[in-house]
Amino acid sequence: MDEDMDEGVIDENKKVRRLRFMVDFTLEYIRTQRLSHDQAILVVEGVKRFALGLFPDKEETFDLVYAPRFKRLLNDKFQRS
């Protein structure tokens, strides 16, 4: 039973690392590429779908943890408030 729990924790940690990498990569991609606001929004929506694929039913968590980072970047890049 402990072994199953350890595997679950390991799997969860792998998924968290994948998501963090994807978020960091996407933030840098949006920051450095010539994208329209609409294109950038589509990219963010893709990351959210990716996140929900890894963590179903965690949309609220994504919105609390990652959405503000994307919003700040988009506001800065496109001079919106």
pTM for the full predicted model: 0.87
Residue 69, exposed/middle/buried by CB under 10 A (0-12, 13-18, 19+)? middle
Domain, as residue range, for 26: 2-77
Is the predicted pLDDT of residue 1 greater than 70, yes or no? no
Any idea what DSSP says for residue 75?
A: H
How many structural domains compose the chain?
1
Section 36-54 average pLDDT: 98
pLDDT at res. 12? 94
Give the whole-angstrom CA distance, residue 68 versus residue 72. 6
Euclidean distance between the first and the last CA atom of the chain, given in angstroms as a whole number: 51
Confidence of residue 81 (pLDDT cuts 50, 70, 90): low
pLDDT at res. 80? 74
Q: What is the CA radius of gyration of the chain?
A: 15
Is the predicted pLDDT of residue 26 greater than 80, yes or no? yes
